[in-house]
Amino acid sequence: MISVCHVITDTNFGGAGRVLLNYCKTYNRADFRLSVVLPRGSELLEPLRQTDVELIEADGLYDRSYSREDVRNLAVIFRQHVFQLIHAHGALSARLAARKCGIPVIYTRHSVFDPPRRATRFPIRQIQGFFNNRYADGIIAVSPAAKEILAATGSDPRKIRVIYNGVPPLEPGPGVYRARFSWGPKDLVLGIVARLEEVKGHHDLLNALALLPEPIKLLIAGTGAQEAALKAQCRALQLEKRVVFCGFVQDVAGLMNSLDVQINASYGTEATSMALLEGFSLGIPAVVTDFGGNPYVVESGVNGLVVPKRDPHAMARAIERLWEEPGLRKQLGAGARAAYAQRFRAEMMTRQTEEYYREVLKQYG
């Protein structure tokens, strides 16, 4: 029995938390014993309580990668328990504490963003590379794009293993949002599931929608700092009757079953979108920008269409093509379902992660 402790510092229930939760639901209980250290009062606590993993609430940690206090507190926790491996979800404090206690450590890079140029040059590249190489026995990148950035900023590529995020399949069912707004079979319903932040590209998507025919509708799921600005843009573009702001959506299946096409318009941060994978499980094709991990998930012409980032006209042309060609939409939907089955199931992510655990422990001696 291998005892693994995950450390996550997020107080919100974001992408890293969803990846961890999916792992906790599908891990090999015959070979592994799991614990999770997380901030006291984190939003992730309640979902994790529905699993059988040991939960350790810690003071501090709150949404920060490093503090001396966190290193000290985590070292105490690690010494009080018999952990054979630490898995840090970004948290540098956990990596330093693991080293302090002589425990092998893996960390996952969940994000992809364009690093500043100075981060890829001397001496910042060497400093970052030192910390990543010295304080990790293995690194998981959730996308080849994440691995490329890690290598460009100094991490040893030989230490990096690409393991895509995996999700449980959504259940097919009624499209509750289509019914709620009386959208019929002649309407093409788009959906974007993302934080309402500048870099997620919602403004570009609204500009694209303004170029498209009236039967094309849009559901926007999520909350964030850009909500007021996006609603103002809708009014300015006279899109109020075609766009619905859904806020935070708990019934993800109900939302996804309402969609014909999913959109990802990111241009500043995107690794392996969990929402895209959930849509794939239902056979929903996607139109995405060519940023970050998107092109590694969506193969243009196979399970969706890829367009240049920050190009509303290109986005509009791709969406209009899927509206005008239902046969193509059906074909891409079948490709999306096949991609999910072959690459993005939660069980696949779990199996690959546990294989990597064993490799790292074997190398550690």
**The two three-digit tokens of residue 51, written as one number:** 């699993």
**Do 160 and 200 belong together in one domain?**
no
Model pLDDT for residues 67-107, shown as the tens digit of each residue: 999 999 999 999 999 999 999 998 999 999 999 999 999 99
Any alpha helices (H) in the chain, and if so which ranges? 15-26, 45-49, 68-80, 92-101, 124-134, 144-152, 176-180, 202-209, 227-236, 252-256, 274-281, 294-297, 312-324, 326-343, 346-364
What is the rounded distance in angstroms from the CA atom of residue 297 to the CA atom of residue 143? 9
Write down the residue that tokens 């992730």 correspond to: 44
Question: 339 and 350 in one domain?
Answer: no
Per-residue pLDDT band for 340 (boundaries 50, 70, 90) equals: very high
Q: Are residues 148 and 17 in the same domain?
A: yes
The encoded tokens of residue 119 equal 């981060």
Both 273 and 309 in a single domain?
A: yes
Are residue 152 and residue 197 in the same domain, yes or no? no
> Residue 289 belongs to what domain range?
176-343
Give me the amino acid identity at 26.
Answer: T
User: In the numeric block, which tokens belong to residue 252?
Assistant: 């993800």
294: left (phi over 0), alpha (psi -120 to 50) or beta: alpha
Same domain for 159 and 198: no
Three-state SS at 202: helix
Q: Find the mean pLDDT for residues 279-300.
A: 98
Spatial separation of the C-alpha atoms in residues 215 and 220, rounded to whole Å: 16
User: How does strand 2-7 pair with strand 85-88?
Assistant: parallel
* Total number of domains constituting the chain: 2
- Cα(247)–Cα(75) distance, integer angstroms: 39
User: Each residue of 112-148: pLDDT tens digit?
Assistant: 999 999 999 999 999 999 989 999 999 999 999 999 9
Residue 171 lies in a domain: no
Angle between helices 346-364 and 15-26 (to 10 degrees): 80
Tokens 């590529």 belong to: 157
201 and 312 co-located in one domain: yes
Do residues 153 and 213 both lie within one domain?
no
CA–CA separation, 220 and 195 (whole Å): 10
Q: What CATH number is attached to the domain comprising 181?
A: 3.40.50.2000
pLDDT in tens, 34-46: 999 999 999 999 9
| 242 domain-assigned | yes
- Domain identity same for 94 and 146: yes
Q: 7 pLDDT exceeds 80? A: yes
* High-pLDDT (> 70) share of the chain, %: 100
Whether 210 is in a domain gets the answer yes
Cβ–Cβ under 8 Å, residues 53 and 72: no
Q: Measure CA 227 to chain center.
A: 21
Same domain, yes or no, for 183 and 141?
Answer: no
pLDDT for 126 equals 95
Per-residue pLDDT at 364:
82
Mean confidence (pLDDT) of the chain:
96
Contact at 8 Å (CB) between 216 and 242? Answer: yes
- Do 193 and 325 fall into the same domain? yes
Same domain as 350, residue 304: no
| 365 has pLDDT over 90 | no
Task: Pick the closest to residue 346 from 21, 94, 8 (CA basis).
Answer: 21
Q: Taking a C-beta distance cutoff of 8 angstroms, is the pair 171, 231 a contact?
A: no
Residue type, 111: S
Average pLDDT rounded to a whole number, residues 336-344: 98
Please write the tens of the pLDDT for every residue from 209-260: 999 999 999 999 999 999 999 999 999 999 999 999 999 998 999 999 999 9
The tens digit of pLDDT for each residue in 54-68 reads 999 999 999 999 999
